[in-house]
Structure formats: structure tokens, C-alpha cells
Chain A
């Protein structure tokens, strides 16, 4: 029973398309995140939600729009995809403001 699950695991798409990645956690945590990991493995925080409310938006282009329908879900929609969006996107949830994150397995996005 996966704690943090993301779908899809792989996306391959053309420039200009729109795509979504879904994330669900069954840990009962209030806070969820999206991180972007580039080809050099660098992890950059994108967004943080606490109980459906946006807490952090790290100067991400507004082509990226997170949505949290409830505290167990945090989805990421990306409009007008660009080559530079190619990366692995990780969803995570946090244990009660401790900094201990539980990560999903990642969604590898390739933009051609």
C-alpha cells in the first residue's frame, strides 16, 4: 500500500502541449509538496500546500498550476510545455512540520 503515489510515472509529449500529474498520499499528512529534479539531480522546491492552502510558490512560471482538492491530493498541471520542463517531478508529504518528507517515486516528463 503505497504511502505517496504519483501518476503517471512517465510522460513523453510535444512542446506546447498541456499535461497533468496526480499525487495522492494516504499518510494523513497536512502538508504536501512538488519538487522538480533536473538532469543533474538538483532538487528544487516548486510548491507547498498545507491543508489545501498554498503556502509556498517558488517563482515557478504561471504555466504551472497546482491544485489541491483535499489534503490527501496535490495535482500539478502544466500548460504550454517547453523543452526546459523536462525533468523528474516528485510529490511529497510532510510529517507534522518536522521536515521529514515522504516522497513518491517520481514522474519523468520528457518534452520533445
Chain B
């Protein structure tokens, strides 16, 4: 079985500062890893995904994440955040057929 732990429930940050949202996973099989973003009153949309290959994955809106197999982590980073990045961010893992498991989410609050 797979599981996902997002280590921070909330991350406050000032505009233009860098940010890292942490995600650890556990799985007994090879996994696919994802970050999704949910803006207020909207559904989730894909930010980026790791399926195989390069461990550094670039996504939309300037976000990137690094897959670290030895540490079973997939942390999300952005070098300079904007007010518009304020949202809920979900890490997710898929290791089996038709089953994407989400972490509890991290609320990113960007302040001016």
C-alpha cells in the first residue's frame, strides 16, 4: 500500500521569497508522484509529475520538484513566489492501478 505525508499543514511566506513544500511517501512498489494545486473554490489541477527519468521535474507556474528515492521524498520548490500562488497544494502517489492517493495538503499563504 502507498501513503503520502505532507510535513507542513501551512506555510506562510512573503512575496518574492523562495518556498519549499515537503512531501514524503511510502510504497512497496515503484511509484508515480504528483503535485496538484487547488485554488479557492476550484477543483485540483496538475502542477507537475514524476513518472521516470530525470529526478528534477519542472512544472507550470515556475514550480519544480525533485524525486529522491533514497529519502522517499518529492519536495516542491519555487525560487520566488507571487501572491497568486496562494492555494492548497497536494502531493499524491500512484503505485497501483487506478488509485491515486493524496496527502493531507499544505496551505501556502503568500503575504505582500
Q: Which residues of chain B are near A94, meaning CB under 8 Å?
A: 98, 100
* Contact indicator A41/B100 (Cβ below 8 Å): no
Residues of A within 8 A of B88 (CB): 41
Which residues of B sit under 8 angstroms from A106, Cβ to Cβ?
Answer: 41-43
Q: Is the CB of A48 within 8 A of B98?
A: yes
Q: Which listed segment binds B: A11-19, A62-70, A77-85, A97-105?
A: A97-105
Contact present for A99 and B49 (CB under 8 Å):
yes
The verdict on A101 contacting B98 (CB below 8 Å), with A41-B104, A42-B105, A43-B90 known, is no
CB contacts (< 8 Å) of A34 on chain B: these are none
Rounded to whole Å, the gap between the CB of A36 and the closest CB of chain B is 11
User: Using Cβ atoms and an 8 Å threshold, which residues of chain B touch A97?
Assistant: 97-98
B101 contact set on A, CB distance < 8 A: 45
Pair B98/A56 contact, Cβ less than 8 Å: yes
Interface of B is mostly: strand
Determine whether B72 belongs to the interface, using a CB cutoff of 8 Å to chain A: no
A40 contacts across to B, CB distance below 8 A: 104
B interface residue count range (under 10 / 10 to 19 / 20 to 34 / 35 or more): 20 to 34
B102/A43 in contact, CB under 8 A? yes
Report A-chain residues with C-beta under 8 Å of the C-beta of B46.
Answer: 100-101
Residues of B within 8 A of A4 (CB): 43
The interface residues of chain B lying within 8 Å CB-to-CB of A100 are 34, 46, 49
Do the beta carbons of B44 and A103 come within 8 Å of each other? Answer: yes
CA distance A94 to B90 in the complex (A): 17
* A residues less than 8 Å from B105 (CB atoms): 41-43
| A34 → chain B closest CB, angstroms | 12
Contacts of A43 in B (CB 8 A): 44, 90, 102, 105
B-binding residues in A (CB < 8 A): 4, 31, 33, 40-43, 45, 48, 50, 55-56, 90, 92, 94, 97-101, 103-106
